[in-house]
Structure 1
Amino acid sequence: MAKQIVPFVVHGTGTGVAQNISVPGDVSHTFESDTLPPFGGADSAPSPLSYTLGALTGCNQISAQLVAKELGVTLGEFTFAATGDFDPSVFVGGAEGNANFDAVRVEASVQTDADEATFATLVSELERRCPVTQLFKRSSLDYTSTWTALPLEAAS
């Protein structure tokens, strides 16, 4: 099978540290980024680092749905907390080293009807296939995740 490429494109414009970002396509989207005052921003919008953690949780949820469909299990509500430990000394002060997060931790729970073994497969496979998880894992930071299966609540 030939490799397929799906391009993802964003355009940004801004002044100072704030930026307006647009995503072209059949349905276009826009969002803004800024940063915290210690990094020169006004905190008027989420920082790019916050967006990366949000991208991680969002991509995990999408990946979980794709894998769940293949495994024949149902997923309900998700809850995520993603924390990135960031030392700004390289970014702000120009110190030697890596400007990346030192560590990222994801705590996730999802309602499911999967048994324990199937849930373990679901988590392993979604993390293997999630592009954003792989960006973090392959960047040499300390990446950990804890997934909890919760009983699937019946629709009311």
Structure 2
Amino acid sequence: MSSRTVPFVVSATGTGVAQSLTAAGDVPHEFRADTLPAFGGADADPSPLSYALGALTSCNQVTGSLVARGLGLTLGTWEFHVQGDLDPAVIATGAEGNANFDSVHVQVQVQTDADEATFARLREETERRCPVTQLFKRSGLAFSSEWSRVDLA
């Protein structure tokens, strides 16, 4: 294991259920979070759960691009559809159980010049190396993914 790490830092302030957040870096990025009215929010900004699912898609694309470079592949457009199924009883009412998603399903379509065997390697390595995929998989929820390739135009 490498002794070198890269820190990812987010600072936030908020009232009620809404927050203003800043991701530190060479260029700080500001964003906001809120939640659905059912959870006390105004739905003025994405919910933390939407950000978590969005992090899953973007981390797969970043990781997949790194993997593809190592495999000598050319990639085009990525398309994702992610669904996380959540029983709101724990978070909303304090019911016993796990507040995590029950399941998350990811659909990925990638334009590439990879043949089927190399595309399978791209998928396997991306899911293995993607920190956010690993957070979801190791959390104990039912995780599934479907990857399909589209020839580059």
Aligned letter for 2:5? I
Q: Deviations over 1:7-44 (max 9, x none)?
A: 10000001000000011221010000000000000000
Is 2:17–2:41's contact at 8 Å kept on the other side of the alignment? yes
Is 2:8–2:24's contact at 8 Å kept on the other side of the alignment? no
Matching residue of 2:9: 9
> Counterparts of 1:130 and 1:63 in 2: how far apart (Å)?
6
> Counterparts of 2:15 and 2:89 in 1: how far apart (Å)?
24
What is the CA distance between 1:2 and its match in structure 2? Answer: 4.1
Matching residue of 1:61: 61
Q: Which runs of 4+ in 1 moved over 2 A?
A: none
Aligned letter for 2:66? L
Structure 2 counterparts to residues 3-152 of structure 1, below 5 A: 3-152=3-152
> Counterparts of 1:43 and 1:93 in 2: how far apart (Å)?
19
> Counterparts of 1:40 and 1:8 in 2: how far apart (Å)?
29
> Counterparts of 1:27 and 1:74 in 2: how far apart (Å)?
29
> Counterparts of 2:21 and 2:90 in 1: how far apart (Å)?
25
TM score, norm. by length of structure 1: 0.96
Q: Any idea what SS the aligned residue of 1:107 has?
A: strand
Aligned letter for 2:53? L
CA-atom RMSD in angstroms: 0.8
Query: Across the two proteins, how many residue pairs are aligned to each other?
Result: 153
TM score, norm. by length of structure 2: 0.98
Identity of aligned residues (%): 63
Is the helix fraction higher in 1 or 2? 2
What is the CA distance between 1:88 and its match in structure 2? Answer: 0.5
Aligned letter for 1:73? L
